[in-house]
Amino acid sequence: ASREGKQMLISVTLDTILTELGMDEGFAVHPRHDCPHLPAITGVPTTGISVTSPCSDCTPDTATQENWICLTCYSVRCGRVVKEHMLFHSAELSHPIVLGFEDLSVWCYLCESYIESPVLYEAKNAAYMSKFGETMPNIYPE
């Protein structure tokens, strides 16, 4: 087979594999800027935020994997890919907004969306300082 034919076969095979795995369509995340649940956020505790805090419901072997912090009560729980403790926390206590320690993204369970707002700067900055040891650049226009 020609080189062009082999490349075509590889491309078709890769496309088939990605389709079978449900990974054939990438998407950009477009955070919501008008989340109506922002008033649920409370101020960062004087102790700050530690991105190394363990999930308070997990066993030691999974306690530090993919954790989120509730921006209402500042408790730390694991995300959906581990044991879903933050999802349960949010549902049980009606605390909708959480910040992820991996990428410092903020999710609203009620909007079912990532969110962005200047209101998030205090919490995001506290987590950023814990993670990187410096102040987060303020990306929000004043």
> H or E element: which one contains 25?
none
Q: Looking at the predicted structure, is the pLDDT value of residue 26 above 70?
A: no
Mean pLDDT computed over every residue of the chain? 87
Kindly tell me the burial class for residue 7, based on how many C-beta atoms sit within 10 Å of its own C-beta (0-12, 13-18, 19 or more). exposed
14-23, 37-46, 85-94, 100-109: the lowest-pLDDT one? 14-23
What's the number of CA atoms in the CB half-sphere (13 Å) around residue 115? 25
Alpha carbon distances (Å) from 83 to 34, 75, 79, 95, 107: 29, 15, 7, 18, 17
- The Cα 19–Cα 9 span in angstroms is 15
Q: In what order do the strands lie in the sheet with 76-78?
A: 76-78, 67-70, 97-100, 106-108, 113-114
Domain boundaries, the chain: 1-28, 31-132
pLDDT recorded at residue 27: 62
- The predicted structure's pLDDT at residue 8: 47
Reported as a pLDDT band with limits 50, 70 and 90, residue 11 is very low
Calculate ∠ Cα 63-66-69, nearest 5°.
85
pLDDT, one tens digit per residue, over 72-124 is: 999 999 999 999 999 999 999 999 999 999 999 999 999 999 999 999 999 99
Cα→Cα distances 39→89, 91, 96, 130, 138, Å = 18, 17, 10, 24, 21
Q: Is the pLDDT of residue 21 over 70?
A: no
Of the chain, the percentage scoring pLDDT greater than 90 comes to 69
Among the CATH numbers 1.10.220.10, 3.30.70.1230, 3.30.450.40, 3.30.40.10, which is that of 31-132?
3.30.40.10
